[in-house]
Amino acid sequence: MGPTASGKTSLAIQLAKKYQTEIISVDSRQFYREMECGTAKPTEAQLAEVKHHFINNLSIYQEYTAGHFAREANDIIDELFKTRDTVVAVGGSTLYFKALLDGIDEFPEITKEAKERVKEIEKNQGLKGLQDALKQVDPEYFNSVDIANPRRVIRALEVCFSEGKPYASYLKQSEQKDKGYSVIKIAIDAPRSVLYKNINNRCDEMIAEGLLDEVRQLYPFKDLKPLHTVGYTEFFEYLDDKTTLDMAVILFKQHTRNYAKRQMTWLRREEGLAWMPVDKIENYLNNVGS
């Protein structure tokens, strides 16, 4: 685990090679084939080093939840443990990690009325209105979710409005079932100055690699939930003439740093987490399994 741009992918690949195993990607944005430049997926060379599951396995048109992921990931993990002693999971999507490790309840069917109510709030009040509504009906989930991600906020509100119950009430609270294997949770700890520098550099690299062209191609589909995320919404605003390109880039970097900060807040509350200073990774790899 760890915040975005902390070096998770590289460490996971090195561990998977050391244990001769495969990787479960726990990154809800890297599922989607159409979202390439803006999601920091492993490179083709990295994917060739170790088999990854849940990279480019979906289209942006498909509905996919943390519950879907947990069920499918656990099936793959069970299959891998038939021939391997270790499986590596890596990612920064905290809700999906929670679903994988703790389980997640089945959510109610979303009603048409709930969807229309949420759409009305979004249309009239924008993301701020959605955030305010979630804070009112489900303060617990509001304090833990990435509120800058409209897709997360919309999903939670639709559930809340469908049944009149908080979204958080459907999440299992640290109810770890006996899965038949032990879990070692490692989080990369990078100084904020280093992390923010990495984030800014990564954002520049994404833009240089063609992020804006990708956003233009996806613009006709900007209302799809998977595209309501950092790295896309800022440039959709630019294409809508609501901001300048320079400001879109500034907001892209700022929102990514904000997301990393929220990831760290969640991780600091996670029990049983071993923190690994980023400058100690090489020493750890030299000694792990010995």
pLDDT exceeds cutoff 50 at 182: yes
Mean per-residue pLDDT, 19-24: 97
Q: What phi and psi values does residue 90 have, to the nearest 5 degrees?
A: -145, 140
Residue at a domain's end among 148, 170, 192: 170
Domain-located, residue 2:
no
SS3 289: coil
Pairwise CA distance, residues 126 & 150, whole Å: 9
Residue 73 lies in a domain: yes
> Is residue 136 domain-shared with residue 66, that is, in the same domain?
no
Final residue before a domain boundary, out of 142, 170, 198: 170
Same domain for 221 and 142: no
Distance CA 78, CA 205 (A): 37
Same domain, 183 and 39: yes
The reported pLDDT for the residue numbered 108 is 78
pLDDT of residue 243: 97
Query: 180 and 267: one domain?
Result: yes
Whole-number Cα distances in Å, 9 to 5, 41, 61, 227 = 9, 9, 26, 22
Whether residues 54 and 155 share a domain: the answer is: no
Closest of 80, 34, 72, 23 to residue 56, by C-alpha: 34
Sheet of 88-90: strands edge to edge? 52-53, 23-25, 88-90
Phi/psi of residue 234, each to 5°? Answer: -65, -40
Query: In this structure, is residue 159 part of a structural domain?
Result: yes
Q: What per-residue confidence (pLDDT) applies to 31?
A: 97
Q: Look up the pTM and report it.
A: 0.77
Same structural domain for residues 155 and 29? no
pLDDT of 290 strictly over 70: no
* Displacement of CA 211 from its chain's centroid (Å): 19
Q: Cα–Cα distance between 204 and 181 in angstroms, integer?
A: 40
**84 and 143, same domain (yes or no):** no
Q: Tokens representing 69?
A: 């992921």
Query: Quick check: 265 pLDDT over 50?
Result: yes
Assigned domain for 1 exists: no
Number of domains, the chain:
2
pLDDT-derived band at 67, boundaries 50, 70, 90 = confident
Instruction: Give yes or no for residue 107 having a pLDDT over 80.
Output: no
* Residue with more model confidence, 108 or 222: 222
Mean predicted confidence (pLDDT) in 178-200: 92
Tell me the C-alpha distance between 253 and 195, whole Å.
12
pLDDT of amino acid 147: 84
The answer to whether residues 69 and 101 touch, using CB atoms and an 8 Å cutoff, is no
pLDDT value, residue 177: 57
Q: Which domain holds residue 178?
A: 8-104+172-287
Residue 178 confidence (pLDDT): 65
Q: Is residue 129 part of a domain?
A: yes
pLDDT at 173 over 50: no
For residue 129, give both structure tokens: 């209105």
Question: Which tokens in the block code for residue 64?
Answer: 């996919």
Q: Are residues 51 and 176 in the same domain?
A: yes
**136 within domain boundaries:** yes
- The answer to whether residue 137 is domain-embedded is yes
Question: pLDDT tens across 124-161, in order?
Answer: 999 999 999 999 999 988 987 878 888 889 989 999 99
Whether residues 283 and 244 fall in one domain: yes
Average pLDDT, the chain: 92
User: Which is higher by pLDDT, 107 or 11?
Assistant: 11
190 shares a domain with 145: no
Of residues 101, 83, 88, 268, the one with CA closest to residue 171: 101
CATH number of the domain that residue 93 is part of: 3.40.50.300
In a domain, 18, yes or no: yes
Shared domain check, 195 and 123 = no
Q: Of 151, 170, 189, at which residue does a domain stop?
A: 170
Say whether both 16 and 139 belong to one domain: no
What is the Cα–Cα distance from 253 to 204, expressed in whole angstroms?
9
The better pLDDT of the pair 159, 284 is held by: 159
Spatial distance between the Cα atoms of 265 and 41, rounded to a whole number of angstroms: 23
Q: CA torsion, points 263, 268, 272, 273, in degrees to nearest 10?
A: 60
